[in-house]
Each structure stands twice: as structure tokens, then as C-alpha cells.
Amino acid sequence: MPWQRYGTDPGAGPTPSRPRTTLITRTPERTTVHTRTDSHALKTEPPGAGGPARRSFPSCTTDVTEKSRQTLLALADGLKDERLAERLGISRNTVQDRIRRLRIVLGCPAPFPLGELVARGYETGAVPPPARTAEETPALNRTEAALVPHAAAGLAFAAMAERTGIPLPVVRSTLYALRERTGAVNAPHLVKRLRELGLVTPAAAGTE
């Protein structure tokens, strides 16, 4: 028997007023994710309009296949371009096609960064979150502590600056230094490393 889980969040990025609704159905063969991020994600008919109010989930049902999961996991390992294509044994054009599909499936369209796509994969259960490693959790200063939840959500530097009120140059320099300290090679890899090091919990990622 497959199991199912519903989840909703108030949305993220430049359109916080738009709800995001996700239905996840998992079987041993594949994970199916139903995601709506537009204004019709949850639609309720007013009382008296032909019956009791009810919710509907229109359109956009897609599957996260094993190939898509492998692509997401490779992104989380910090691979890109030729190395990503080599890991997956496919062409760079095919890699981009898979990423475009993942963006649709996980409700993370361009120009949202790839780090946010990886974070959405963890949040929806499309891929399992990384296990905590035996490495010592590094201490954070006040600026790093303010930025880590947003970095774990894969947000772009400008979005982090807007949400925290920290100047963009400080955000940029702090995150580059944090990548070096954690051994992350890029933003998607940092999303994974912050979880491996115990610097962020699933509930804290993306905290406003």
C-alpha cells in the first residue's frame, strides 16, 4: 500500500501570498508529488453555490522518477555542467531537461536558484534528507546564525538580504566564508552540508 501525506505552506520568495499545496504519494518504485503554487492551489466554493463548500486541487500532477531523484541528489553534491552530466551518464542537454522537469514538479520555477530546488526536494520528501555526519558542529556568529536558515532553504543572496535586513555585501561575504568552513562548493551543496552538520533542522529551514 502506498502512503500519502499532505502539506501546505504559505509560499516563499517574491509571492508570499500564494499558498503552496503538496500531496506526496510514495511507493517502493517512485515518489509522486502533486504541487500547486498558484492562486488556485486551494479553491473553496462559497456556501450556497450548489452545495457545501469544498476544496479542489486543479491540474499539475507529475512524478519524481528515480532518474529525477538521482539528478537532484547529484545537484545536492555540488555537481554541475560536465561533472553532473558525467555522474548521470547523460548529455548536458538532457540534464537541463531533467532540471526543468524538477522545477515544475517541485514548484520551483526559474529564476529561483538551484539551491532552493534542492531544499524543496528535501522538504517534500522527493529525496531523503542527508544523514547527520560525525563532524563537529561549527560555532556560528550572530550574522551566520541569522543567515543559516535561509541558506538551508537555498535562497539567493538578494532574497536573504531582503528577509534579514543584512546588507547584501555582508550576506555575500558571510555565505562565501560559510561555504569554505563547511566544505560546500556551491549553494546547492551548502543546503546539504548545513543539514549534515546539524546546523539546521527541517522545521527551521526557510524560517522567515
pLDDT band at 200 (very low <50, low <70, confident <90, very high): confident
List the grid coordinates of 61.
Answer: 500532477
Question: Which pLDDT score is estimated for 148?
Answer: 97
pLDDT band at 186 (very low <50, low <70, confident <90, very high): very high
Percent of the chain's residues with pLDDT above 90:
63
List the grid coordinates of 46.
Answer: 462559497
| Residue 62 or residue 65, greater confidence | 65
Percent of the chain's residues with pLDDT above 70:
66
Question: Which pLDDT score is estimated for 33?
Answer: 54
Contact in structure between 177 and 169 (CB atoms under 8 Å) = no
Amino acid identity of residue 80, one-letter, is K
pLDDT band at 121 (very low <50, low <70, confident <90, very high): very high
Output phi, psi for 108, to 5 deg.
-130, 70
pLDDT in tens, 89-112: 999 999 999 999 999 999 999 889
pLDDT band at 48 (very low <50, low <70, confident <90, very high): very low
Which of these, 138, 141, 142, lies nearest to 190 by C-alpha position? 138
Q: Please determine, for residue 70, whether its predicted confidence score (pLDDT) is greater than 70.
A: yes
Output phi, psi for 177, to 5 deg.
-65, -40
Please report the beta strands in 29-116, taking only residues with DSSP state E, as ranges in sequence order.
31-36, 43-44, 55-56, 61-64
Question: Which pLDDT score is estimated for 181?
Answer: 95
Residues 179 and 184: their CA atoms lie apart, in Å, by 5
Question: Which pLDDT score is estimated for 64?
Answer: 83
Q: What does the DSSP assignment read for 32-47?
A: EEEEE-STTSSEEPPT
**DSSP-assigned letter for residue 22:** E
Q: How many helices (H) and strands (E) does the chain have?
A: 8, 6
Question: Which pLDDT score is estimated for 26?
Answer: 54
Q: Sign (positive/negative) of CA torsion 86, 87, 93, 94?
A: positive
What SS3 class is residue 130?
A: coil
pLDDT in tens, 123-162: 999 999 999 999 999 999 999 999 999 999 999 999 999 9
Q: Which residues have CB under 8 Å from 170's CB, separation 6+?
A: 143
Q: What is the mean pLDDT of residues 73-83?
A: 95
Distance in Å from the first CA to the final CA of the chain: 37
